[in-house]
Structure 1
Amino acid sequence: MRVLVVGGGAIGMLSAQRLAEAGLEVHLLDQGPLGQESSWAGGGIVSPLYPWRYSPAVTALAHWSQDFYPALGERLRHETGIDPEVHVTGLYWLDLEDEAEALAWAAREKRPLEAVDIGSVHQAVPALGPGFSRALFMSGVANVRNPRLLASLRAALLRMPNVVLEESRAATGFVREGGRIVGVSTPSGDLRADRVVVAAGAWSGKLLATLGLELPVKPMKGQMILYKCAEDFLPRMVMADGRYAIPRRDGHILVGSTLEDVGFDKTPTEEALASLKASAEALLPALAGAEVVRHWAGLRPGSPEGIPYIGPVPSCEGLWLNCGHFRNGLVLAPASCQLFADLLLEREPIIDPAPYAPAGRIG
């Protein structure tokens, strides 16, 4: 079987890797360089920002992926020499309004989330600002250095003889024979395959619209900023009022993010920069004197309730989806791509696939 994967972010590359490991011929293409869109632009926290606020469908994928990430990071480092830096720090949530709901969720799901004394938080994170009164902490939460994860995935795919990677080649539509999808059209000619997989992130809805299908996935802009501090400046991830600070191993600190419904505009704005700096300085006052190393924007694939679309499209034989992960693409990628591969290869799925099925969810 020859499979064509459209979209070269974390979801597309991991999907390609899973299929190639099963012996399939895989052709992956992206409209730009691989791994340069939403997967690159996010923070890389290996947890939904507020996991108790999501549906059981998102929770099931998140739990599987969180348990899988350390082994994935080590395997990619060993195979490619590029360390994705799966960095286990734990995460503090400060002054939550729904603390009781969070703790009830943790008890139900058996996750290590607990209330901690604010004094102990200041001891663990000396740089934390004043004014916070309550905290929850979850140990074991990691962040992954997403640009390095994407680089290692690309390197791993390049080593596989049954994988073809094509960058800067956009899919503009689909090739149909009768009611079956047999490929995609591109500006430089058609590409054909036995199965076509749309893993094109925020562009997935736009591509499926060429078939007259209404996939409720749209771009949601997010802006972030990056600081460089001492390596021991921030030993834990911290989050308050919807904004977070993430430490990398080398002392880089990411602060994000905005959530803007402005179409495909990725232009960073001064308004967002000021807002992110204010959040950064409220969390970590010492950042007031630090230089912003970088400020950027990316486009998340927004979807209803953040539940991705994983599986075949019933009205278009040969067409499959693995898209619509909204803010949790990196979090959910290992489980989503394993589930996708299980379905396409007709294996026993790792979790119940019903909540993610495109059937009944697209127009």
Structure 2
Amino acid sequence: MSNPSDVIVVGAGVIGAACACYAARSGLTVTVVDRGPVAAGTTGAGEGNLLVSDKEPGPELELALLSVELWRELAQELPASIEYEAKGGLVVASDATGMSTLRKFAEAQTGAGVTAEEIPPDRLHELEPHLAPGLGGGFHYPQDAQVQPALATAHLLRASGARIRTGEEVTAILTGPQGKVRGVRTAAGDLHAPYVVNAAGTWGGEVARLAGAHLPVLPRRGFVLVTEPLPRLVRHKVYASDYVSDVASGSAALQASVVVEGTSAGPVLIGGSRERVGFDRTLSVEALRRLAAQATTLFPVLAGVRVMRTYAGFRPYLPDHLPAIGTDPHIPGLLHACGHEGAGIGLAPATGLVVARLLTGDQPPLDVGPFRPGRFAPAA
């Protein structure tokens, strides 16, 4: 048994780290517990995307806009580099029809606070000299950025001053009178706190079930290709217009809409596949083939570049594509912060701030109604 904390965060990924950081800034003592190492799940398999460009007007975009501002602040405040890079995004269309669709999408985003600059076909190569010729144009999103996700998570946890207990799987949510949370049970012993935050990512549904709660979180698998280190061939996050529709799709089938970006360390990251196959980590040659083909279509120069490795990750998917953030409607003291799908790294700071405000009884920075975990409660 350990000394009680004010709050226990289950999950040492970027969402859990952000919850811990902002809770600590609010004056709470925090313990973070995870069955694996720091950033060992979805976070460690991410590309570090901080995107507003792929989100239509609505609650997720509001969360993303707040988060990009908070990431800028964190990049200045954290004591070590998290490889924050305000590189901007470039969404490209293959033809005039695709460009018309992008233009309507960008106009709606602009009304919601997003900065989007139309780039005609003859100016695309000013932003990305190695893009394929003949594209229909694009939109530049200067608010898009990137961090190194594992580094960012580690430094958020360090800044929080939280007690970190890795390698300890939570096996039960402890409750007391009237079902009020009083801590968690692990193989190493019981940890006590009046609040527990479920930030278990793809396994958030399992943690919810331990408390008798319901969250239909499912894994959505994706692959990333990592090239050999290169001079900076790709300056922005670059993706084709169909990426937005694939992100919003609920299909379980394999979808591949490539995102290509350079990194400060040299390798180019190529991602954008998604499919619901449970927790199957089997290498999908078809997914890798599609990503490679789409990447070389956008950037022909990559055809002669070696891929050094590939890795898979699981996005925590909820049916309406919005995360669950807030208090559980039936278990007092239990809060959820999971189900961010592929946007968790980008949405982490705003999620952490919302959770901290709810823990302390302060006003959240935005309307949390659309994210309420109780929206998935089974019908009586």
TM-score normalised according to structure 2 size: 0.88
Does the alignment pair 1:33 with 2:37? yes
Q: Write out aligned runs for 1:298-337 (5 A).
A: 298-337=313-352
**Corresponding position of 1:85:** 83
Worse overlay, 67-76 or 336-345? 67-76
Shift of 1:70: 1.6
Does the alignment pair 1:123 with 2:122? no
**Corresponding position of 2:216:** 216
CA displacement, residues 281-334 of structure 1 (integer Å, 9 cap, x when unaligned)? 112111111111220011111013321211211211121111111121011111
CA displacement, residues 24-78 of structure 1 (integer Å, 9 cap, x when unaligned)? 22110111001121112122221145212xx5110110111112212211211xx
Task: Tell me the distance in 2 between the aligned counterparts of 1:209 and 1:110.
Answer: 38
Which residues of structure 2 form unaligned runs of 5+? 244-257
**Corresponding position of 1:205:** 205
Worse overlay, 213-222 or 175-184? 175-184
Does the alignment pair 1:62 with 2:64? yes
Letter in 2 for 1:123: E
Coordinate RMSD, CA, aligned:
1.8
**Paired residue for 2:13, among 9, 29, 39?**
9
Secondary structure at the aligned position of 1:43 is classed as coil
Change (3 A) 1:176 1:110: closer
Whether contact under 8 Å (1:8, 1:29) holds in the other structure is: yes
Whether contact under 8 Å (1:113, 1:136) holds in the other structure is: yes
Worse overlay, 42-51 or 62-71? 42-51
Worse overlay, 195-204 or 31-40? 31-40
Worse overlay, 136-145 or 328-337? 136-145
Change (3 A) 1:40 1:87: same
**Paired residue for 2:137, among 129, 134, 147?**
134
Whether contact under 8 Å (1:201, 1:324) holds in the other structure is: yes
Task: Tell me the distance in 1 between the aligned counterparts of 2:272 and 2:106.
Answer: 25
**Paired residue for 1:43, among 26, 42, 47?**
47
Whether contact under 8 Å (2:52, 2:143) holds in the other structure is: no
Task: Tell me the distance in 2 between the aligned counterparts of 1:194 and 1:230.
Answer: 50
Shift of 1:199: 0.4
Letter in 1 for 2:329: P
Identity of aligned residues (%): 31
Does the alignment pair 1:144 with 2:142? no
Shift of 1:272: 2.0
**Corresponding position of 1:172:** 171
Q: Write out aligned runs for 1:211-290 (5 A).
A: 211-240=211-240, 241-242=242-243, 243-290=258-305
Change (3 A) 1:342 1:167: same
Whether contact under 8 Å (1:204, 1:217) holds in the other structure is: yes
Task: Tell me the distance in 1 between the aligned counterparts of 2:157 and 2:211.
Answer: 30
Change (3 A) 1:39 1:205: same
Change (3 A) 1:307 1:153: same
Letter in 2 for 1:200: A
Whether contact under 8 Å (1:306, 1:327) holds in the other structure is: no
Whether contact under 8 Å (1:4, 1:26) holds in the other structure is: yes
**Corresponding position of 1:297:** 312
Which residues of structure 1 form unaligned runs of 5+? none
CA displacement, residues 331-351 of structure 1 (integer Å, 9 cap, x when unaligned)? 111111101111110112211
Shift of 1:229: 4.2
Whether contact under 8 Å (1:43, 1:246) holds in the other structure is: no
Letter in 1 for 2:277: V
Task: Tell me the distance in 2 between the aligned counterparts of 1:251 and 1:214.
Answer: 43
